[in-house]
């Protein structure tokens, strides 16, 4: 059956992949939440702890009453003792705006047995479902040369099926740079902030552009997690001898002798690129998570993300 599926995918590479989770997996996702920073600002009512002191029945501190405050949160006992009006403040859970930005450029349509786009959509579907289930406000935006039509804002598990259908319909498109659409998206959401998750192979996002972008996405308004998806063949390409490599995005070609020494040099360059990306993300308080597209969600990806404190159970 796998062979047939592969064959069908090869014959119809543009057909949308169906994303389906079984009941057991859904139950497991329902026990997970996105580990959002407390500094994020959202409306009360969610499941994410917040560092903001809000009028609450659970007391942590007082502040002077201001016009417009709800009289229900006036600490009448303090008023009796001091004849001053104070509002009772306390920590309360909040909802978070979750932004899932999925790179669907042509380079993402590469990889076997499944493409990086397939893996990105599966991870996005998983994270989106977790966000919807925990009452977060979810937005999904496809990233390519231009910002495509997105999904959301949505909240509640009832939208989970629509999310899966949306992600399953994403098609790879040719694009040369992600910085512009990312910047456009951030500009529209700059006032609201939230947890911004980028799923991409980052081939079309220069380190400098990433640095500039992350500079606009600083905490506490933003929490950024970058999922860096790579196929094993990108990590360890085979030594094919005389080869003409063709860029899927630009169509440009470069002739090389893919021999062991070349592969070693490539891996060195790759590691250097990884380091640059990590340093850039760390410098701006962003989290970068490298995912192998061959990893399975339930046995590898979820435990890995829990360990990386992206998810918590």
Residues of this chain that interact with another protein (CB under 8 A) are 107-108, 110, 116, 201, 203-204, 231, 234, 237, 240-250, 252-257, 262, 265-266, 269-270, 273
Cβ at position 8, least distance to another protein in Å: 20
Cβ at position 213, least distance to another protein in Å: 18
Cβ at position 293, least distance to another protein in Å: 11
Cβ at position 17, least distance to another protein in Å: 18
Distance, in Å, from the CA atom of 52 to the CA atom of 155, rounded to the nearest integer, reads 22
Cβ at position 179, least distance to another protein in Å: 14
Structure token pair of residue 153: 């804002």
Element holding 122 (H helix, E strand): helix 116-133
Distance, in Å, from the CA atom of 65 to the CA atom of 15, rounded to the nearest integer, reads 60
Distance, in Å, from the CA atom of 127 to the CA atom of 114, rounded to the nearest integer, reads 19
Query: Given the complex with another protein, which of 206 and 298 has the nearer CB atom?
Result: 206
CB burial of 146-170 (b: ≥16 within 10 Å; e: otherwise) equals ebeebbbebbebebbeebbebbbeb
Q: Residue 152 — φ and ψ, nearest 5°?
A: 95, -175
Query: Given the complex with another protein, which of 151 and 203 has the nearer CB atom?
Result: 203
Specify the 3-state DSSP secondary structure of 283: helix
Specify the 3-state DSSP secondary structure of 135: coil
Cβ at position 232, least distance to another protein in Å: 13
Query: Given the complex with another protein, which of 107 and 134 has the nearer CB atom?
Result: 107
Distance, in Å, from the CA atom of 295 to the CA atom of 309, rounded to the nearest integer, reads 18
Neighbours of 212 (CB within 10 A): 15
Query: Given the complex with another protein, which of 94 and 204 has the nearer CB atom?
Result: 204
Distance, in Å, from the CA atom of 51 to the CA atom of 223, rounded to the nearest integer, reads 14
Element holding 223 (H helix, E strand): strand 222-230
CA distances (Å), origin 75, targets 25, 284, 286: 46, 41, 40
Cβ at position 122, least distance to another protein in Å: 18
Query: Given the complex with another protein, which of 187 and 240 has the nearer CB atom?
Result: 240
Say if CB 92 and CB 58 are below 8 A apart.
yes
């Amino acid at each position: 059956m796998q062979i047939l599926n592969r064959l069908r995918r090869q014959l119809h590479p543009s057909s949308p992949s169906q994303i389906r989770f079984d009941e057991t997996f859904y139950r497991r996702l329902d026990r997970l939440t996105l580990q959002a920073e407390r500094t994020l600002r959202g409306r009360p009512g969610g499941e994410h702890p917040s560092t903001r002191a809000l009028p609450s029945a659970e007391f942590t501190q007082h502040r002077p009453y201001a016009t417009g405050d709800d009289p229900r949160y006036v600490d009448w006992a303090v008023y009796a003792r001091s004849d001053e009006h104070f509002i009772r403040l306390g920590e309360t859970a909040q909802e978070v705006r979750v932004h899932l930005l999925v790179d669907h450029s042509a380079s993402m349509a590469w990889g076997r047995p499944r493409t990086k786009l397939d893996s990105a959509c599966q991870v996005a579907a998983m994270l989106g479902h977790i966000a919807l289930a925990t009452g977060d406000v979810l937005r999904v935006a496809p990233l390519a040369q231009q910002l495509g039509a997105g999904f959301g804002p949505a909240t509640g598990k009832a939208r989970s099926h629509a999310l899966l259908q949306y992600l399953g319909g994403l098609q790879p498109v040719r694009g040369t740079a992600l910085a512009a659409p990312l910047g456009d998206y951030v500009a529209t959401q700059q006032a609201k902030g939230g947890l911004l998750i980028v799923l991409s192979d980052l081939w079309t996002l220069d380190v400098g552009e990433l640095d500039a972008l992350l500079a606009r996405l600083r905490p506490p308004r933003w929490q950024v997690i970058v999922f860096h998806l790579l196929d094993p063949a990108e990590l360890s390409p085979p030594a094919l001898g005389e080869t003409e490599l063709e860029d899927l995005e630009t169509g440009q070609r470069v002739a090389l002798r893919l021999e062991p020494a070349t592969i070693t040099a490539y891996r060195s360059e790759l590691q250097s690129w990884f380091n640059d990306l990590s340093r850039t993300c760390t410098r701006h308080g962003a989290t970068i998570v490298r995912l192998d597209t061959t990893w399975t969600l339930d046995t590898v990806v979820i435990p890995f993300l829990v360990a990386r404190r992206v998810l918590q159970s």
